[in-house]
């Protein structure tokens, strides 16, 4: 028997059935021939599979990452395949912005954005020839929606596909945040009180995964309609104060700023563990909390994977990954499951093809994925599972 030593990038690439099918198709059709695509998305093995699919379609790719999530192996792999990469594993937003600007310096004709960074920087210093592109997340959509008039080009929002909503945000983020809690803390979930902030698709998934692991789950959601849904789904929905005070574990999944701040310190239960799963490191105010005069001691474990704080009140609390998206930070950050990212990245590849072909228009500025693309991705995945 021949014994080969495989890498994680190879394992991921082999597991992406949809991207592999699209790569075969793109090798024939070459939809991005002569075009440069600028990317600003987490650089990890699954995005490597996406970027290599775009390359199969003839694209030059100039890539950057997102704050805190860049994986050196992925950068090295991409560079070895001729992709220009401007990315570092940094948590410094000024440095991150400088790297994104380097992507825009290449004047790509298409942008693949994640969090709205690239499109908003483009507006600060526009260049000729940008055809449009895609935005991956809820947070990015929220940032770009008010800029529609200025952008005035096709930008398809992957997050607003029902497949992304249920396939990644609901099912995969829930599993991944749950796996992250177990991996970083090595603590149990049984009988623990878990409070989830936000009951959008991500919050729903997190709440269900912890419930399935025998935790008692509370949902804290500002929208009364979704709060009702959480109640009907069997979750506790008390006041915010009660939700904070009762929690052994707190997970934020809102896309909002300052969901848990220094002002909440006196409310928190002794030993509470806080994790953020939202895109920006603003949901748990890590800086404000760690600099609070209430904090009398701090201990960082494993390079900041966990930060424990001792308070004046003698209570303690622990924050995961300094408030950065916990499932893509810390030791061995696997992120969401390969299958779920294969859905989302198949939508990405097909949407970029649509924009490159010129058949998406200026009216399609910050709009959901076209329905026919959703149907193609869903049908192709099901076909790959039943063959
Ligand atoms: N970790 C990951 O791998 C991953 C993957 C996909 C999306 N995300 C991010 O997760 C976040 C949530 O995504 P979503 O699709 O569920 O978003 P969503 O907008 O559908 O849901 C967020 C919910 O939070 C609620 N909310 C806002 N502020 C709140 C507050 N202060 N307290 C309680 N509830 C509040 C909103 O009413 C909304 O219902 C976003 O930042 C998104 O970018 C993370």
Q: CB–CB of 348/158 below 8 Å?
A: yes
Reported as a pLDDT band with limits 50, 70 and 90, residue 285 is: very high
Q: How far is the CA of 121 from the centre of ligand 1 (A)?
A: 23
Higher pLDDT, 70 or 58: 58
DSSP designation for 330: S
Q: Which pLDDT does position 329 carry in this prediction?
A: 87
pLDDT exceeds cutoff 80 at 211: yes
User: So where are the chain's domains?
Assistant: 8-160+336-386, 165-324
From the number of C-beta atoms within 10 Å of its C-beta (0-12, 13-18, 19+), residue 145 rates as middle
Buried/exposed 285-318: b ≥16 CB within 10 Å, e otherwise: bbeebbebeebeeeeeeeebbbbebebeeebbbb
Atom of ligand 1 nearest to the CA of 283: 31
Q: State mean pLDDT over 215-239.
A: 98
- Fold match between 8-160+336-386 and 165-324? yes
Kindly report, residue by residue over 108-131, the tens digit of the pLDDT. 999 999 999 999 999 999 999 999
Reported as a pLDDT band with limits 50, 70 and 90, residue 42 is: confident
Q: How far is the CA of 343 from the centre of ligand 1 (A)?
A: 20
Atom of ligand 1 nearest to the CA of 140: 43
The answer to whether domain 165-324 has CATH 3.40.50.2300 is no
From the CB of 172, is ligand 1 less than 6 Å away? no
Class of domain 8-160+336-386: alpha beta
From the CB of 223, is ligand 1 less than 6 Å away? yes
Question: Which pairs count as long-range contacts for 131-137, CB under 8 Å and 24+ apart, including other chains?
Answer: 131/35, 131/355, 131/356, 131/358, 132/156, 132/355, 132/360, 132/364, 132/365, 133/37, 133/352, 133/355, 134/158, 134/348, 134/351, 134/352, 134/355, 135/159, 135/366, 136/41, 136/112, 136/344, 136/348, 137/279
Name which of 138-142, 206-210, 234-238, 306-310 the model is least confident about. Answer: 138-142
From the CB of 169, is ligand 1 less than 6 Å away? yes
Q: How far is the CA of 165 from the centre of ligand 1 (A)?
A: 11
Q: Which pLDDT does position 387 carry in this prediction?
A: 57
Q: CB–CB of 284/276 below 8 Å?
A: yes
């Amino acid at each position: 028997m021949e014994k080969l030593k495989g890498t994680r990038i190879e394992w991921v690439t082999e597991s992406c059935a949809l991207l592999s099918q699209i790569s075969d198709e793109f090798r024939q059709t070459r939809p991005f021939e002569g075009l440069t695509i600028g990317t600003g998305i987490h650089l990890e093995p699954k995005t490597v599979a996406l970027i290599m699919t775009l390359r199969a379609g003839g694209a030059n790719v100039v890539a950057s990452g997102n704050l805190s999530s860049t994986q050196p192996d992925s950068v090295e792999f991409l560079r070895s395949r001729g992709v220009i990469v401007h990315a570092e594993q940094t948590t410094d937003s000024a440095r991150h912005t400088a790297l994104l600007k380097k992507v825009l310096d290449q004047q790509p004709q298409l942008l693949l954005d994640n969090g709205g960074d690239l499109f908003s920087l483009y507006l600060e210093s526009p260049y000729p020839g940008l055809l449009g592109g895609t935005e991956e997340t809820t947070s990015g959509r929220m940032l770009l929606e008010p800029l529609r008039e200025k952008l005035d080009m096709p930008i398809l929002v992957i997050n607003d596909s029902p497949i992304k909503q249920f396939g990644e945000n609901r099912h995969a983020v829930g599993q991944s945040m749950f796996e992250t809690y177990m991996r970083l803390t090595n603590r149990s979930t049984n009988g623990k009180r878990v409070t989830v902030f936000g009951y959008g698709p991500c919050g729903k998934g997190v709440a269900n995964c912890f419930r399935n692991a025998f935790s008692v789950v509370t949902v804290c959601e500002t929208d009364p309609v979704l709060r009702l849904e959480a109640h009907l789904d069997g979750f506790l929905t008390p006041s915010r104060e009660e939700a904070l005070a009762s929690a052994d574990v707190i997970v934020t999944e809102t896309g909002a700023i300052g969901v848990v701040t220094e002002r909440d310190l006196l409310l928190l239960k002794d030993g509470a563990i806080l994790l953020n799963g939202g895109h920006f490191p603003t949901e748990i105010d890590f800086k404000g909390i760690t600099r609070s005069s209430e904090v009398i001691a701090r201990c960082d474990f494993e390079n900041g994977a966990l930060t424990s704080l001792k308070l004046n009140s003698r209570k303690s609390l622990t924050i995961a990954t300094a408030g950065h998206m916990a499932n893509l930070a810390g030791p061995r950050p696997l992120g969401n499951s390969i299958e779920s990212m294969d859905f989302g990245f198949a939508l990405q590849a097909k949407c970029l093809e649509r924009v490159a072909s010129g058949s998406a228009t200026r009216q399609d500025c910050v709009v959901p994925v076209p329905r026919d693309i959703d149907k193609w991705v869903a049908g192709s995945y099901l076909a790959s599972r039943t063959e």
